[in-house]
């Protein structure tokens, strides 16, 4: 059985949990429809999550959340960022692959011919 999000509040709770675990402050969490990205994090700690994540398994959403939270301590996708990903989510590459597969499935379902969504 695939574990899914109950609602947006559960996803927000997960984001606050990960921010505390990493030791950063997320000033605001917003969930809304985003056409080009799965999520974004501002330098001031404002986290925006794509509402489509609510339709995906929790482990994929958790990967997106951790990815964005880590940008507050490692802004680029370089070696330092990846070392944090390995430390907090040792199977992050598997989760990222599942996210890309879910993307393809969502695009087919919605009949879209979009390029892959980005995470920043």
pTM of the predicted protein model = 0.88
Could you read off the pLDDT tens digit of each residue along the chain, which spans 120 residues? 679 999 999 999 999 999 999 999 999 999 999 888 999 999 999 999 999 999 999 999 999 999 999 999 999 999 999 999 999 999 999 999 999 998 877 665 555 444 455 554
Order across the sheet with 118-119: list the strands: 28-32, 46-50, 37-41, 118-119
Assigned CATH for 8-119 = 3.30.2010.10
Residues 6+ apart with CB under 8 A from 54: 5, 7, 8, 11, 31, 61
Map out the domains of the chain as residue ranges.
Answer: 8-119
């Amino acid at each position: 059985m695939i574990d899914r999000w109950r609602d947006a509040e559960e996803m927000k709770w997960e984001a606050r949990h990960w921010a505390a675990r990493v030791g950063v402050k997320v000033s605001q969490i917003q969930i809304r429809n985003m056409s080009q990205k799965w999520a974004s994090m501002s330098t001031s700690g404002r986290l925006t999550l794509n509402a489509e994540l609510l339709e995906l398994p929790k482990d994929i959403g958790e990967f997106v959340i951790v990815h964005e939270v880590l940008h507050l301590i490692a802004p680029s996708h370089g070696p330092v960022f990846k070392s944090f990903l390995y430390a907090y989510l040792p199977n992050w590459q598997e989760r990222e692959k599942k996210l890309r597969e879910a993307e393809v499935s969502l695009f087919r379902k919605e009949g879209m011919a979009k390029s892959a969504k980005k995470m920043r």
